[in-house]
Amino acid sequence: MKSSILTWTASVFFSLAAAVPQQGKFERRCNRLAQTFSPDSKTTVLLSEYLPAGANVTNPDNHPSCQSKPFTITYVDMCRLRLKVATSSTSGLEMEAWMPVDWSKKRYLVLGNGGLGGCIAYPDMAYTASLGFATIAHNNGHLGDTAEPMLNNPGVVEDYAYRAIKTATKVGKKAVRHFYQTALKNSYYMGCSSGGRQGLKAAQDFPEEFDGIIAGAPANDINNLFSIVGHYYKVMGKPGDATHLNGDQWAAMRNMILSQCDSLDGAADGVIEEPRSCNPRFEALMCATGQTWASHGCLTSKQVGAVRKFFEPYYGTDGNLLYPRFDPGAEVISDVYDGQPPYFTDQWFKYAVKNDPNWDFDANFSLQEVMALNALDPFGVSTWKDLKKLKRTGHKLLTYHGLQDGLISSENSYRYYEYVSRSMGLTSSQLDQFYRYFPISGQSHCWGGAGSWYIGATSQFARVRGIPGIPSDDSVLMTMVKWVEQGVAPERLRARNIDLQTGTVKGMKDHCKWPKKNVYLGGDFNAKESWGCQ
């Protein structure tokens, strides 16, 4: 591990040193981009500026709903370009290209979005630019983590479904080629959640754009994903309802589930290696006669009944599965119990589907509406197709999914994998040629978690910045680079158990590629040697 850090650091140092004489030229070319780059009438340059390592980039246009910090610190010298691109007469996107001084490997990378995603992924741009990727990120066709701009504007929904990522990718390639005056060698995509769905969209419909696609915790089948969160809320009721659980009661339920399932894998380490094999007895938390939550920390039979229903898969009026069940061992999101209609569900129905700000979740959300939405599937946003096109290109797709994801059930990623397998008639070893899926036990939604969750993916690096012992050359991104550029296909995915509270690396695990599973061999839970694949 130590020698790999040294090698990486040394190679960055020497390549930067070699680039120094060119610095002035690079800087001038960058600052002039607003005059020199004009690919078509739809594209406008908003800004071009040279940024040295350590620059403080304020993000004035990031909408308050975007949650990320209002500023980002760069790691390496680079050129920043901001563009506006029209996608139709009523819609358009904003995008940035962060192009590092050291571009010796000529790698191009596009980043995705999250949630209802109109937020540029600045922290990830800083990270991947530092790894030498000319990095593109965009606002997905609207500003903010909100669907409001979709109201009566189908162009914005179309951007969200597929067009923004496709357009930004193409324009970004032109910008990078123009700036460096040379063709790129390899093109990559990385995203998680909505960004995972965008990655699958590219893999399904325009795989020619990327040699390697990393799709984390993908939000595909997104209409039914929004619907099941609405369903959760309906099942559990509001504060004061007999079925309702508050946050503390959910935490108690999660502890009870862990107590029943943590040891199924032989390791009582707070991580359920395979939540799909966990079928808890929720009734174990039910009060005996005369007991209460206040006196005994137990739940009523009505509450337990609601929890049992919460954990069932979600079926349509035709009896077909709409969405698989919640991961046992994951923490439920507060939308389930905070008494407000679930934000994403409410926004999606109001603005993207019904075009009616008065659509009322409590009055109007129903299984009939869910079925109608499923049939409508605006602009193919569900992103549920096989990978025939990807296979033909010979390009690669790597998906991963945290197995304690409280927002998007990891079952959905297994389900998609098996769907692709069946619909293309390919066994897992045939799929291995172009599509590999890594379940990540102990990882929450995209980042964090009780186990070895850190893989150097989307939304992760900025949170661990400064913690010692985290090299970047075994990240999922560089793992994909090795697959694409050297033909070294990953069998396992290196992950670190990072405690964000104390800022320490507690352990390491190499997660197995589905359909193999992590198995405990004995010894220190936190040592990667204690785990194998079977």
Ligand X SMILES: *[C@@H]1O[C@H](CO)[C@@H](O)[C@H](O)[C@H]1NC(C)=O
Residues taking part in catalysis: 193, 405, 445
Closest distance to ligand X from the beta carbon of 353 (Å) = 10
The residue (of 56 and 320) whose beta carbon lies closer to ligand X is: 56
Which C-beta is closer to ligand X: that of 217 or that of 353?
A: 353
Least distance (Å) between residue 156 CB and ligand X: 20
Angle at Cα 19 formed by Cα 17 and Cα 24, nearest 5°? Answer: 120
Piece of the chain touching ligand X by CB under 6 A; list 26-34, 164-172, 319-327, 351-359: 351-359
For ligand X, give the closer residue by CB, 73 or 519.
Answer: 73
Which range binds ligand X by CB under 6 A, 120-128, 145-153, 352-360, 403-411? 352-360
Interface pick for ligand X out of 65, 88, 364, 428 (rule CB under 6 A): 364
Shortest distance, CB of residue 356 to ligand X, whole angstroms? 5
Question: Which residues inside 27-46 make contact with ligand X, applying CB under 6 A?
Answer: none
Using alpha carbons only, what angle is made at residue 416 by residues 410 and 421, rounded to the nearest 5 degrees?
A: 135
- Which range touches ligand X (CB under 6 A), out of 224-232, 277-285, 303-311, 354-362? 354-362
User: Binding string, 470-509, against ligand X, x = CB under 6 A?
Assistant: ----------------------------------------
d(CA 448, CA 454): 7
Q: How many residues bind ligand X (CB under 6 A)?
A: 10
Q: What are phi and psi of 249, to 5 degrees?
A: -70, -35
Burial of 244 (0-12, 13-18, 19+ CB in 10 A): middle
Of 5 and 467, nearer to ligand X (C-beta) is 467
CB atoms within 10 A of CB 352: 27
Look up residue 395 and give its DSSP letter.
-
Point out which residues pair with 137 in neighbouring strands. 96
Question: Is 360 among the residues that bind ligand X (CB under 6 A)?
Answer: yes
Stretch that binds ligand X, among 243-251, 329-337, 355-363, 517-525 (CB under 6 A): 355-363
Query: What minimum distance in Å lies between the beta carbon of 71 and ligand X?
Result: 4
Q: Which is nearer to ligand X, 65 or 364 (CB)?
A: 364
Please say which residue, 58 or 430, places its beta carbon nearer to ligand X: 58
Q: Could you write out the DSSP letters of every residue in 221-254? A: SHHHHHHHHHHHHHHH--TTSTT---HHHHHHHH
Q: Which of 354, 482, 517, 528 is in the footprint of ligand X by CB under 6 A?
A: 354
Q: Which residue lies nearer to ligand X by CB, 70 or 266? A: 70
> Which residue among 248, 356, 491, 524 contacts ligand X (CB under 6 A)?
356
Using CB atoms within 10 A of its CB, is residue 116 exposed (0-12), middle (13-18) or buried (19+)? buried
Q: Are 157 and 150 in contact (CB under 8 A)?
A: yes
Task: Give residues 429-458 in contact with ligand X (rule: CB under 6 A).
Answer: none
Q: Which of residues 150-189 bind ligand X (CB under 6 A)?
A: none
Q: Which is nearer to ligand X, 342 or 490 (CB)?
A: 342
Structural contact between residues 30 and 79, judged by C-beta atoms closer than 8 angstroms: yes
449, 439 contact by CB (below 8 A): no
Q: How far is the CB of 528 from ligand X (least distance, A)?
A: 34
Q: What is the largest CA-CA distance in the chain?
A: 80
Given the rule CB under 6 A, which of 356-364, 419-427, 456-464, 504-512 is the region that contacts ligand X? 356-364
Which three-class secondary structure string do you get for 475-518? CHHHHHHHHHHHCCCCCEEEEEEEECCCCEEEEEEEEECCCCCE
Asked if 216 and 458 count as a contact pair (C-beta separation under 8 A), the reply is yes
Name the token pair of 126: 């800083």
CB of 364 to ligand X, least distance (A): 4
Distances (CA, A) of 462 to 119, 381, 454, 459, 504: 16, 29, 11, 7, 15
For residue 11, the one-letter residue type is S
Q: Which stretch binds ligand X (CB under 6 A): 181-189, 325-333, 357-365, 488-496?
A: 357-365
**What stretch of H or E contains 405?**
none
288, 294, 363, 375: residue in contact with ligand X (rule CB under 6 A) = 363
Nearer to ligand X, 58 or 277 (CB): 58
Ranges within 50-69 binding ligand X (CB under 6 A): 56, 58
- Tell me the C-alpha distance between 26 and 396, whole Å: 33
Residues 6+ apart with CB under 8 A from 2: none
Q: Which stretch binds ligand X (CB under 6 A): 31-39, 286-294, 358-366, 481-489?
A: 358-366
* Closest of 498, 224, 311, 274 to residue 403, by C-alpha: 274
SS3 323: strand
Please give the angle made by the CA atoms of 258, 262 and 267, to the nearest 5 degrees.
155
- The DSSP annotation for 8-28 comes to HHHHHHHHHHHHGGGHHHHHH
Rule CB under 6 A: is residue 359 a binding residue for ligand X?
yes
The structure tokens listed for 11 are: 């190679």
> Is 89 an interacting residue with respect to ligand X (CB under 6 A)?
no
* Interface with ligand X (CB under 6 A): 56, 58, 71, 73, 354, 356, 359-360, 363-364
